[in-house]
Amino acid sequence: MSNGVGYEEEVLGKAYDSRLMARLLRYLKPYRLPVLGAVALLMLASGLAVVGPYLTRIALDEAIPAGDGRHLAQLAMLFLGATVLVFVFQYAQALVTTWLGQRVMYDLRTQIFRKLQRLDPAFYDRNPVGRLMTRVTSDVETLNELFSSGLVTVFGDLFILFFIVAAMLEMDWQLALVTFSVLPFVFYAAFLFRSRIRSAYRDIRVRLARLNAFLQERFTGIRIVQLFNREKADLERFKQLDDEYLGAHLRSITYYALFFPVIQLFTSVALALIIWYGGGAMIRGAVTIGVLAAFLDYARRFFRPIQDLSDKYNLLQGAMASSERIFRLLDTEARIQDPAAPRRVPPGGRGEIRFEKVW
């Protein structure tokens, strides 16, 4: 019995492959209308999600100083209405994308099963059943997460960043540049996190592949294990593999536990810069209290999508690895092909199997 090292070649791949992504997106072609609807709902929800601080600025700079209670009530109703619409649009978008992901996965599972039915028996001799089960279940489920939440979250975060940057530049471009001054440090931290988590993620997949291979081989050959009294030795080997798998997970958890507080730290630095520079500008009369309050709110919202985008790197890598394995299976050609024009048995003919010169 092997240690399952042969399984490892399947879990190492690129973090992003445009060729694989283009092939994955082809499965969305039959569902163009739901895709367009999801994108429209996403843009509406993202745009309305950043309206709150802008309305706050108007209330603090115009309605309250003028003592205009009617205007203030209108702003409050707009704020509440935008919040309700964001909820409605996000709910509708979640329904559409979840339905879309399930339909795509249904099509993909059907295609994989149809392919498996047409492959020759020699293929099954070369590929363990557990590996093929993983293609139809675990790998497809990973792609479901990409279609139903991963891509949507990425585009949603990008839309939110665009709207926030546009709003901040429109209100005060100088204060916006001060806020963005911490971005090089944020991007560097995200780059370090991405490289570390990619290594940790690959290590997790390798350890899991070894563990699955070991379990499959031992369960398949359990009679041999018991016959040669290998239970204790195999238990120790399992503990070793399981401990390595646990250690890989703990390392990834450490990176996550460090990354998010670091992003929070840079968010606090940005807020401090806004208070320092914006407060000084307010003393000079160059910035109003409404602009300062809006910038503080926008800064808190600005770094959240960056944090989410870095977190989605792990999901993207898993989807690329799963899609590569699935397409490798779908591209496998059967050694035995059905004839294009099969001959029928003539009426009255007798089918028979003869063994000639068999030794």
If one compares 197 and 182, the residue with the highest pLDDT of the two is 182
What pLDDT, on a 0 to 100 scale, did the predictor assign at position 33? 92
Which range, 2-16, 130-144, 146-160, 280-294, has the best average confidence (pLDDT)? 280-294
What pLDDT, on a 0 to 100 scale, did the predictor assign at position 338? 67
Q: How do residues 39-49 score in pLDDT, each as one tens digit?
A: 899 889 988 98
What pLDDT, on a 0 to 100 scale, did the predictor assign at position 249? 86
Given a cut of 70, whether residue 306 has pLDDT beyond it is yes
What pLDDT, on a 0 to 100 scale, did the predictor assign at position 7? 46
If one compares 108 and 351, the residue with the highest pLDDT of the two is 108
Rounded (5°) CA angle 13-19-25: 110
DSSP E strands: which ranges in 244-301? Answer: none
Measured from the Cβ of residue 87, the count of other Cβ atoms closer than 10 Å reads: 12
Q: What percentage of the chain exceeds 90 in pLDDT?
A: 22
91 pLDDT band, cuts 50/70/90, is: very high
Q: How do residues 279-305 score in pLDDT, each as one tens digit?
A: 998 888 888 999 999 999 998 888 888
Given a cut of 90, whether residue 145 has pLDDT beyond it is no
State the average pLDDT over residues 164-190: 89
If one compares 2 and 176, the residue with the highest pLDDT of the two is 176
DSSP E strands: which ranges in 202-323? Answer: none
Q: Specify the residue for token string 């498996």.
A: 116
Given a cut of 90, whether residue 85 has pLDDT beyond it is yes
The 3 state secondary structure assigned to 149-160 is HHHHHHHHHHHH
Averaged pLDDT score across all residues of the chain: 83
CA 221, chain centre distance (Å): 37
Given a cut of 60, whether residue 4 has pLDDT beyond it is no
Q: What does the block give as tokens for 115?
A: 């392919």
What pLDDT, on a 0 to 100 scale, did the predictor assign at position 326? 85
Q: How far apart are CA 191 and CA 177, in angstroms?
A: 22
Given a cut of 90, whether residue 272 has pLDDT beyond it is yes
Instruction: Report yes or no: 274 and 296 within 8 Å, Cβ to Cβ.
Output: yes
Q: How far apart are CA 29 and CA 35, in angstroms?
A: 9
What pLDDT, on a 0 to 100 scale, did the predictor assign at position 351? 66
Measured from the Cβ of residue 53, the count of other Cβ atoms closer than 10 Å reads: 22
83 pLDDT band, cuts 50/70/90, is: very high
Which range has the worst mean pLDDT, 50-54, 56-60, 87-91, 126-130? 126-130
State the pTM of this model.
0.73
Domain range summary for the chain, segments of one domain joined by +: 5-330
Given a cut of 90, whether residue 80 has pLDDT beyond it is yes
Q: How do residues 239-249 score in pLDDT, each as one tens digit?
A: 999 999 899 88
Instruction: Report yes or no: 294 and 53 within 8 Å, Cβ to Cβ.
Output: yes
What pLDDT, on a 0 to 100 scale, did the predictor assign at position 8? 47
**Phi, psi (deg, nearest 5) at residue 82:** -65, -40
Instruction: Report yes or no: 140 and 102 within 8 Å, Cβ to Cβ.
Output: no
Domain spanning 5-330: CATH 1.20.1560.10: yes
